[in-house]
Structure 1
Amino acid sequence: MSTATTTESTGLAPVRTDSLAELLVAKERPPRPSAWQASLTFGWRAMLKIKHVPEQLFDVTAFPIMLVLMYTYLFGGALAGSPREYIQFLLPGILVMSVVMITMYTGVSVNTDIEKGVFDRFRSLPVWRPSTMVGYLLGDALRYTLASVVMLTVGLILGFRPDGGVGGVVAGVALLVVFSFAFSWIWTMFGLLLRTEKSVMGVSMMVIFPLTFLSNVFVDPSTMPGWLQAFVNNSPVTHLASAVRGLMAGDWPADEIAWSLGWSVLFVLIFGPITMRLYNRK
């Protein structure tokens, strides 16, 4: 025998407890999303944030264009005789530098969501726990690709001609995006570890500027002092810039590609577990 619960408000139909039970248990529970589905969902969330705050695209559009124009015309004549000659060497390197520098904004986004309390809700969801962080990085991978397209377009206008053709350019950009995805785990760690957005930005700048400028992005390291060459030649940014430069020139620099992929794996293996430990304890 069923019971019924009626509301005291007029005009409302009585609600039967058995009908409520039927609504709640009649259908099967939806399946738990896979790790890939959950990661893509959080990646789509990162894209929606760009849609609602389009100013976030400034660092992948105006900033790269400014760098290409500034370094080409400031140093081209002094270092290579003409801007057109210099851009053949510069563009792959400045492409690497710009995209690697953009990766630090991942940590800022993570820290901002923590301050807003969004992560408290994420951690209560029945999804693969790392999917939140992976989603951030997947969303940013699209930004890295957009920055690469913008810089390559400007470079072609200024006279850059990759001997590797479309295949070499695509391979270079793909390697750069893979490396940047792995490198971003460093900034997610800082986003969880540090307490404010300004501190994340300050520490990131302190790490990223020496790492990118002390490399072969602008000049050949052979002109540097011996003690500095030892650092520059073993920098992950140097290996990546050499690999991207070689691929776009039509070569296959196997050693530099292996070093770049090796650094990528190392970043994920070291900073991925640290990030997730911080996330679980936050």
Structure 2
Amino acid sequence: MMPLAQQGFTLAWRSLVPLKNSPGQLIGYVLQPVLMVAVFVYLFGGAAAGGDRHTAVLYALPGVLAQSALMATIATGVNLNTDLHNGVFDRFRSLPIARAAPLLGRVLADLCLLGVSVGMALLVGLVVGFRIGTGPVQVVVAVGLILAIAVALSWGSALLGLVSKTPAAMQVTATAVIMPLTLGSSAFLPIGSVPGWLQAWMRVNPASHLADAVRGLLVGHPYDSHLGVDILVTLGWVAVMLAVFVPLAVRAYRRRI
């Protein structure tokens, strides 16, 4: 039997191959960061940054990257639920693979698609004036944080997809969870610019720590004053989510099949 990691990559490739015949599925991953950059830089960014468009780009783009990571995880649960209803996992029962392999394959496939989304966001950011103010090590760490939080949250999305009755129900529930995390964070607005009651939520919101960490790693001063704390908190959330969601998702998968 192949190792679990090899099985996961094989099944991830199985999920990605059909995209060459239906590239329209990639449109959402390409357009979402473009629209977010346009909305938060050109519509709201100037006001949030005191009318300074360049400052708005520097502040908003890391927030777009963080939001893209969180929003992209919804697809994991939706795709898993769809595969369950289509009988895909019934065929996996006869294969000599680990029980967790189909889940790992789905997470890895969606991680590749997230890479497309993050790459597009960075490309659009460079076009509209975003410039990285740090070094290659910080950039690698920033991308690593984005991918790590996406992997951890994807397992939560997988769990939700396995216990939901329909793909639509899963998507509605996941969106109801993700939207308050992204919009109620410092991804697009400084904490000091919102009412006090919202500031309290933004300070404990894990999406705020992710956005602030990515911003500090990519832009540097003046957004790196609490960089170490933001990185540690983000990694802490990654560890907690993996410890909770992975075993629960595998258990839910065993019950469904």
* Interval containing the TM-score (normalised by the shorter chain): over 0.9
**Which of these two proteins has the greater Rg computed from alpha carbons?**
1
The alpha-carbon deviation at position 228 of structure 1 amounts to 2.1
**Secondary structure of the residue that 1:215 maps to in structure 2?**
coil
Q: Structure 1 residue 200 and structure 2 residue 170: aligned?
A: yes
Residue deviations 1:226-247 (CA, integer Å, cap 9, x gap): 3322221111111111111111
Contact 1:76–1:84, Cα closer than 8 Å, also in 2: no
Counterpart amino acid of 1:129? Answer: R
Matches within 5 A, 1:10-89: 32-80=1-49, 81-89=51-59
Structure-2 residue corresponding to 1:180:
150
The two structures, once aligned, show a CA RMSD in angstroms of 1.5
Residue deviations 1:141-185 (CA, integer Å, cap 9, x gap): 111111111111111111111111443223211210111011111
Alpha-carbon distance in 1 for matches of 2:95, 2:241: 27
Structure-2 residue corresponding to 1:24:
none
Alpha-carbon distance in 2 for matches of 1:59, 1:172: 23
Counterpart amino acid of 1:36? Answer: A
Structure-2 residue corresponding to 1:118:
88
Contact 1:168–1:249, Cα closer than 8 Å, also in 2: no
Q: Structure 1 residue 225 and structure 2 residue 225: aligned?
A: no
Task: Tell me the TM-score normalized by structure 1.
Answer: 0.85
Structure-1 residue corresponding to 2:74:
104
Structure-2 residue corresponding to 1:142:
112
Counterpart amino acid of 2:126? Answer: L
Give percent identity, aligned residues only. Answer: 38
2:215 to 245, 248, 272: 245
Structure-2 residue corresponding to 1:254:
228
Alpha-carbon distance in 1 for matches of 2:27, 2:135: 28
Contact 2:48–2:56, Cα closer than 8 Å, also in 1: yes
Alpha-carbon distance in 2 for matches of 1:67, 1:230: 25
Residue deviations 1:18-67 (CA, integer Å, cap 9, x gap): xxxxxxxxxxxxxx111111111111112113223222211211121111
Alpha-carbon distance in 1 for matches of 2:73, 2:170: 12
Alpha-carbon distance in 2 for matches of 1:203, 1:123: 28
Q: Which has the higher contact order (CA 8 A, sep 6+)?
A: 2
**Secondary structure of the residue that 2:9 maps to in structure 1?**
helix
Counterpart amino acid of 1:231? Answer: W
Alpha-carbon distance in 2 for matches of 1:70, 1:165: 28
**Secondary structure of the residue that 2:204 maps to in structure 1?**
coil
Which 10-residue stretch deviates more, 172-181 or 224-233? 224-233
Residue deviations 1:113-133 (CA, integer Å, cap 9, x gap): 001101111133221211110
Q: How many residues align?
A: 251
Alpha-carbon distance in 1 for matches of 2:18, 2:148: 22
Contact 2:69–2:149, Cα closer than 8 Å, also in 1: no
The alpha-carbon deviation at position 212 of structure 1 amounts to 0.7
Contact 2:152–2:238, Cα closer than 8 Å, also in 1: yes
The alpha-carbon deviation at position 79 of structure 1 amounts to 1.8
